[in-house]
Amino acid sequence: MAEDREVAGIRCFEVLGRLSDYLDGELEAAARRQIDAHLAGCTWCEQFGGHMGQVVGRLRAERDGLKLDEAGAKRLAERLAGLK
Amino acid sequence: MQPTDDEDRAALARLAAGDRGALSGLVARHQDALFRFLRRLSSDSASAEDALQETFVSVYRHASHFRGEGSVRGWMFAIARRQAALGRRRHVGEPAQHESLETLGLEAGWGEDGRALLDRLADQQAVGRALGRLSDEEQEILLLHDVEGLSGSETATALELSVSAMKSRLHRARLRLAGALEKGGRDGRGS
Ligand SMILES: [Zn+2]
């Protein structure tokens, strides 16, 4: 059973709390290095961080495929052309 | 800030000066992204289209209200978001339930072998379905930041939040999404 523990001077649940900033490259170098060290020594966080990274990466693909269709674009243009 | 922001600012300045022709550039650059966002937050394509039209009408009428902070894109998404909320007849800033990060993390599969999540990720449609199971508030921040790729400050502008409040909401929404994926795996089909 996994539990919150301290590795490299930082606890799992603190790593969990900073994971988005870590994945987004928003952490300062020292904080980033500390989390790198925790991940290197903690299987649970290393695995979870990898999965979260994949989930976030996959969201980007949701952008593909959906566009305003031609008829919708035409209706929009007509609506805007009628504005006073 | 994205490279088109200079063009967007120039277009808004022209609009504010009464030049309606300046709308066409804004429409060409942003209609698809705004439509995708609105489509996700609307019950059907027709409502999304209505909200999109009203968004650009509002951009036209309120061009002079843009205060110049943040990007034009973030400002337009803020307008679109309000339009979507009008369509849903619901309050925009509805607070989310506040589970602890630890609870969200455990529900998202921290401390498990994560096979369910990996299985779900192998299914191309699973992420879209899991996204649809989240609250509107969670969906909109993921759509803006992670799907459309708005920067942190643009997303904060669009949601009318501080950057730090935006980051905290983004993190919770991602954990909730991973949790919804996990749950989808455990429940079998999880449509
Ligand atoms: Zn850990």
Q: Which domain holds residue B87?
A: 1-97
Cβ contact B16:B64 at 8 Å: yes
> Same domain for B188 and B137?
yes
Q: Which residue in A has a C-alpha nearest to residue B120's C-alpha?
A: A55
For residues B34-39, average pLDDT: 95
Task: Tell me which of A45-49, A78-82, B85-89, B128-132 is least confident.
Answer: B85-89
Of the candidates B64, B97, B130, which is a domain's last residue? B97
Minimum-distance CB partner of B56 among A26, A51, A76: A76
The share of chain B scoring above pLDDT 90, in percent, equals 65
Asked if A48 and B27 come within 8 Å (Cβ–Cβ), the reply is no
> Same domain for B93 and B7?
yes
Per-residue model confidence as pLDDT tens digits over B165-174: 999 999 999 9
- Classified as helix, coil or strand, B163 is helix
> Same domain for B91 and B110?
no
> Same domain for B57 and B115?
no
Asked if B111 and A3 come within 8 Å (Cβ–Cβ), the reply is yes
Q: How far is the CA of A36 from the centre of ligand 1 (A)?
A: 11
> Same domain for B117 and B26?
no
User: Which phi and psi (to 5°) does residue A41 adopt?
Assistant: -110, 5
Q: Residue B91: pLDDT above 70?
A: no
> Same domain for B80 and B104?
no
Q: How far is the CA of B169 from the centre of ligand 1 (A)?
A: 22
**Nearest Cα residue to A52 out of A39, A71, A65:** A39
Asked if B102 and A26 come within 8 Å (Cβ–Cβ), the reply is no
Of the candidates B97, B126, B161, which is a domain's last residue? B97
By 3-state DSSP, what share of chain A in percent is helix, strand and coil, each rounded to 5?
65, 5, 30
> Same domain for B71 and B113?
no
Rounded-to-integer distance, Cα B97 and Cα B75, Å = 27
Model pLDDT, residue B93: 47
Asked if A55 and B174 come within 8 Å (Cβ–Cβ), the reply is yes
Model pLDDT, residue B49: 96
Of the candidates B74, B97, B120, which is a domain's last residue? B97
- Count Cβ atoms within 10 A of the Cβ of residue B94 and give its class: 0-12 exposed, 13-18 middle, 19 or more buried: exposed
At A71, which helix (H) or strand (E)?
A: helix A70-81
Model pLDDT, residue A15: 97
Instruction: Give chain A's domains with CATH numbers.
Output: 6-81 (1.10.10)
Alpha-helical (H) ranges within chain B are 5-16, 23-41, 45-61, 72-88, 101-107, 115-122, 126-132, 136-142, 152-159, 163-186
Model pLDDT, residue B187: 54
Rounded-to-integer distance, Cα B145 and Cα B96, Å = 18
Asked if B114 and A48 come within 8 Å (Cβ–Cβ), the reply is yes
Asked if A83 and B20 come within 8 Å (Cβ–Cβ), the reply is yes
Contacts of A76 in chain B (CB under 8 A): 27, 31, 49, 52-53, 56
Contacts of A47 in chain B (CB under 8 A): 113-114
Model pLDDT, residue A9: 96
> Same domain for B75 and B62?
yes
Cβ contact A39:A49 at 8 Å: yes
> Same domain for B128 and B190?
yes
Q: How far is the CA of B131 from the centre of ligand 1 (A)?
A: 26
Per-residue model confidence as pLDDT tens digits over A29-71: 999 999 999 999 999 999 999 999 999 999 998 887 788 999 9
Domain count, chain B: 2
> Same domain for B84 and B133?
no
For residues B74-101, average pLDDT: 78
pLDDT band at B98 (very low <50, low <70, confident <90, very high): confident
CATH number at residue B154: 1.10.10.10
CATH number at residue B77: 1.10.1740.10
Q: Which amino acid is at A41?
A: G
Minimum-distance CB partner of A63 among B31, B147, B171: B147
Per-residue model confidence as pLDDT tens digits over B125-151: 889 899 989 999 999 999 999 999 999
For residues B10-30, average pLDDT: 94
Bridge partners, A10 (sequence order): A7
> Same domain for B85 and B138?
no
For residues B61-88, average pLDDT: 90
Q: Residue B50: pLDDT above 90?
A: yes
Which residues neighbour B65 within 8 Å (Cβ) at sequence distance 6 or greater?
A: none
> Same domain for B133 and B170?
yes
Task: Tell me which of B32-41, B68-77, B118-127 is least confident.
Answer: B118-127
Q: Which residues of A touch chain B, with CB atoms under 8 Å apart?
A: 1-4, 12-13, 16-17, 19-21, 24, 26, 44-45, 47-48, 51-52, 54-56, 58-63, 66-68, 72-73, 75-77, 79-80, 83
Residue B42 DSSP symbol? S
Q: Residue B188: pLDDT above 50?
A: no
- Count Cβ atoms within 10 A of the Cβ of residue A83 and give its class: 0-12 exposed, 13-18 middle, 19 or more buried: exposed
